[in-house]
């Protein structure tokens, strides 16, 4: 479609005046939300989830409630993303002799060499580490102590596009009550969600992993918002006159992306791009 000079000028004006952020809210199919965290608790463990990060992060804390040690077998634990199993543990070493570091990278539609969208592949990057370290398959959790674990993005694609027909609401801008701003919002079911993911972790009370048991916690992206960054994050003075940064949409059950201007609803709707 041919874009007129006026349309091009409007799009340039939109992209130069402000930036845009996308917020993704999640819902759990198996873990309760306590108002701040997704939190699971039984007589053995307490697991708390923290997703807030660019592209989201499967980050969680495991607290051992017992008076005896607890063990986690990462070989028998996985992150399941849109039905694909991704391993928490790989049987490999980081070695100075080969100077190799292996990392998981997700593929997306823009990657012509992609195997399947959202699937992980392995890349090799040069490293200067001077020791040889084998990743830990079994993690020992002492009584009444916590371990933290973080791996894998929740929306690994570099960009995400909302439909140009996404419902929009005109709201008061958080940084300036005298101004209005557009807030795009769309809800997803678990069937239509762009990201459905699970955390599967296997435990035992012995190092030999006898009588093991597992937790299987499911989540999905249930809502996406697109807004002016000034509505998402702004500065104001507190009662003592100190400048503080406010992020009213920031919470541990959500995460965010910084889309390029050409991937925003406003730009694509103005340009006629679908």
* pLDDT band at residue 214 under the 50/70/90 scheme: very high
Place of tokens 């059950």: 253
Share of the chain above pLDDT 70, in %: 77
Note the pLDDT tens digit of each residue in 249-272: 999 999 999 999 999 999 988 877
CA angle 197, 199, 202 (to 5 degrees): 155
For residue 238, the model assigns a pLDDT of 86
Note the pLDDT tens digit of each residue in 84-139: 999 999 887 655 454 443 434 344 444 444 444 444 444 444 554 555 566 799 99
Question: Nearest to residue 101, comparing CAs of 122, 126, 120?
Answer: 126
**Cβ burial 62-76 (10 Å sphere, 16+ → b, else e):** bbbeeeeebbbbbeb
Q: Has this prediction a pTM greater than 0.85?
A: no
* pLDDT band at residue 146 under the 50/70/90 scheme: very high
Query: Which range is least confidently modeled, 3-17, 88-102, 187-201, 254-268?
Result: 3-17
């Amino acid at each position: 479609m041919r874009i007129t000079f006026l349309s091009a000028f409007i799009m340039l004006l939109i992209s130069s005046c402000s930036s845009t952020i996308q917020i993704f809210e999640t819902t759990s199919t198996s873990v309760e939300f306590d108002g701040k965290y997704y939190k699971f608790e039984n007589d053995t463990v307490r697991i708390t989830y923290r997703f807030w990060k660019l592209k989201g992060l499967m980050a969680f804390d495991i607290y051992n409630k017992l008076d005896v040690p607890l063990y986690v077998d990462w070989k028998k634990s996985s992150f399941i993303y849109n039905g694909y199993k991704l391993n928490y543990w790989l049987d490999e070493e980081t070695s100075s002799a080969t100077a190799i570091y292996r990392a998981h990278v997700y593929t997306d539609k823009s990657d012509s060499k992609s195997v399947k969208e959202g699937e992980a592949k392995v890349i090799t990057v040069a490293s200067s580490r001077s020791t040889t370290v084998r990743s830990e398959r079994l993690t020992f959790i002492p009584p009444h102590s916590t371990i933290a674990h973080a791996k894998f993005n929740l929306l690994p694609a570099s960009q995400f596009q909302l439909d140009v027909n996404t419902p929009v609401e005109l709201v008061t801008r958080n940084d300036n009550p005298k101004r209005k701003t557009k807030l795009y919002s769309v809800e997803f079911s678990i069937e239509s969600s762009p990201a459905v993911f699970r955390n599967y972790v296997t435990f035992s009370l012995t190092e030999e992993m006898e009588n093991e048991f597992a937790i299987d916690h499911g989540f999905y992206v249930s809502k996406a918002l697109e807004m002016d960054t000034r509505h998402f994050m702004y500065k104001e003075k507190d009662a003592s006159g100190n400048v503080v940064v406010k992020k009213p949409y920031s919470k541990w059950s959500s995460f965010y992306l910084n889309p390029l201007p050409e991937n925003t609803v406003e730009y694509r709707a103005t340009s006629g791009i679908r």
